[in-house]
């Protein structure tokens, strides 16, 4: 009998932990491997080629660890690399394995959230430049109007643990004002970067109560649960022990101490290199 293996969760750094947390809440029975490419993050300002190469290396690393299912818990990697890896690389590497991203489940939820049908997307430069959100929204909900805003400083605020400090307000206010100026009818703002939930308090402070924020964690977790229900052939290959192991391309101590800001618990980490 084939042995069962953990579900892989990948992010450029810490942001994917906000997705992992919700996935583990919803599907605690499975085993997970989380890997962050912290040594090369942030991905947001890298070129398409670099993001694609780094993500592909990470996916191959998860596959060498046996994972049959890998979630790209990173909008930048989902926007820039997912489609190419699914269409070009996966058929060659192993057509039996699966890679899922975070953009589709987020977009699918929008018609239940917006009333005005005017949507704002907040993300990294890479995600916004890829136009993945407007393209995906146009496919599913062509009646919706979409504006986007790249927030290049927001990931750095989180990665440097400055997100709760006073200086963060300037950058948060600036991008919120920018996007709402582009379309005053926006009633729904998508936090299209897995780091952004950590900025929630400050984002709320600078927004009117009328505007709804879309967080991806629960949406991705719900969509994964549906996926596993619809694909028992994949679900049956995922091991169920309720464990989670953490890996990073940075030094262990640095990852572990920042990860505890995201997860509010202490974790053990192992340093890895995606190329080996
Ligand atoms: N957390 C990643 C995302 O969702 C981006 C962080 C980065 O720029 O590396 O887009």
Query: For the packed helices 16-26 and 252-263, what is the interaxial angle rounded to 10 degrees?
Result: 60
Above 90 in pLDDT, residue 209? Answer: no
Is-catalytic flag, 193?
yes
For residue 147, what pLDDT band results from cuts at 50, 70 and 90? very high
Q: How far, CA to CA in Å, does 214 sit from each of 192, 193, 199, 218, 235?
A: 8, 11, 13, 10, 27
- Per-residue model confidence (pLDDT) at position 131: 96
Above 90 in pLDDT, residue 264? Answer: no
- Per-residue model confidence (pLDDT) at position 1: 58
Q: Give the ligand 1 atom nearest the CA of 42.
A: 9
Cis amide bond preceding 42, omega within 30? yes
Query: In terms of Cα–Cα distance, which of 169, 170, 118, 165 is closest to 141?
Result: 118
Strand order in the sheet with 145-150: 145-150, 118-123, 188-191, 212-214
* Residue owning the nearest CA to atom 2 of ligand 1: 74
* Dihedral in degrees, nearest 10, Cα atoms 69, 74, 79, 85: -30
Contacts of 167-173 with CB under 8 Å at 24 or more apart are 168/199, 168/202, 169/202, 169/205, 169/206, 172/199, 172/202, 172/203, 172/206, 173/206
Alpha carbon of 56 to ligand 1 centroid (Å): 16
Alpha carbon of 74 to ligand 1 centroid (Å): 5
Domains and CATH numbers, the chain: 7-101+218-271 (3.40.50.1860), 104-216 (3.40.50.1860)
Above 90 in pLDDT, residue 260? Answer: no
Of the candidates 54, 67, 193, 244, the residue annotated as catalytic is 193
Mean pLDDT of 195-202: 94
Q: How far is CA 236 from the centre of its chain?
A: 25
Of the candidates 54, 67, 74, 151, the residue annotated as catalytic is 74
For residue 266, what pLDDT band results from cuts at 50, 70 and 90? confident
Is-catalytic flag, 54?
no
Query: Mutation test of ligand 1: which of 9, 18, 21, 42 has the most ligand atoms closer than 8 Å to its C-beta?
Result: 42
Mean pLDDT of 256-266: 87
* Dihedral in degrees, nearest 10, Cα atoms 79, 238, 222, 232: 100
* Residue owning the nearest CA to atom 7 of ligand 1: 42
User: In the predicted model, what is the mean pLDDT of the chain?
Assistant: 95
The pTM (predicted TM-score) of the whole model is 0.94
Above 80 in pLDDT, residue 2? Answer: no
Residues 6+ apart with CB under 8 A from 93: 60, 63
Q: How far is CA 237 from the centre of its chain?
A: 23
């Amino acid at each position: 009998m084939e042995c069962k293996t953990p579900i892989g969760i990948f992010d450029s750094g810490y942001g994917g932990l906000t997705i992992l947390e919700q996935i583990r809440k919803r599907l605690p029975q499975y085993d997970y491997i989380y890997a962050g490419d912290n040594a090369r993050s942030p991905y947001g300002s890298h070129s398409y080629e670099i993001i694609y190469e780094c993500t592909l290396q990470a996916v191959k690393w998860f596959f060498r660890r046996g994972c049959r299912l890998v979630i790209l818990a990173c909008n930048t990697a989902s926007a820039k690399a997912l489609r190419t890896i699914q269409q070009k690389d996966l058929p060659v590497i192993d057509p039996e394995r699966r890679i899922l991203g975070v953009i589709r489940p987020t977009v699918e939820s929008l018609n239940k959230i917006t009333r005005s049908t005017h949507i704002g997307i907040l993300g990294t430069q890479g995600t916004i430049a890829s136009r993945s959100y407007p393209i995906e929204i146009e496919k599913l909900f062509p009646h919706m109007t979409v504006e986007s805003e790249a927030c290049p400083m927001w990931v750095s605020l989180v990665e440097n643990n400055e997100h709760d400090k006073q200086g963060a307000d300037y950058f948060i206010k600036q991008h919120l004002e920018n996007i709402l100026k582009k379309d005053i009818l926006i009633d729904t703002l998508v936090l299209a970067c897995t780091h952004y939930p950590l900025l929630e308090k400050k984002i709320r402070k600078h927004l009117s109560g009328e505007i709804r924020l879309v967080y991806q964690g629960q949406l991705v977790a719900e969509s994964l649960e549906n996926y596993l229900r619809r694909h028992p052939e994949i679900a049956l290959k995922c091991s169920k022990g309720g464990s989670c192991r953490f890996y990073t391309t940075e030094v262990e101590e640095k990852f572990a101490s920042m990860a505890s800001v995201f997860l509010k618990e202490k974790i053990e980490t192992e340093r890895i290199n995606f190329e080996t």
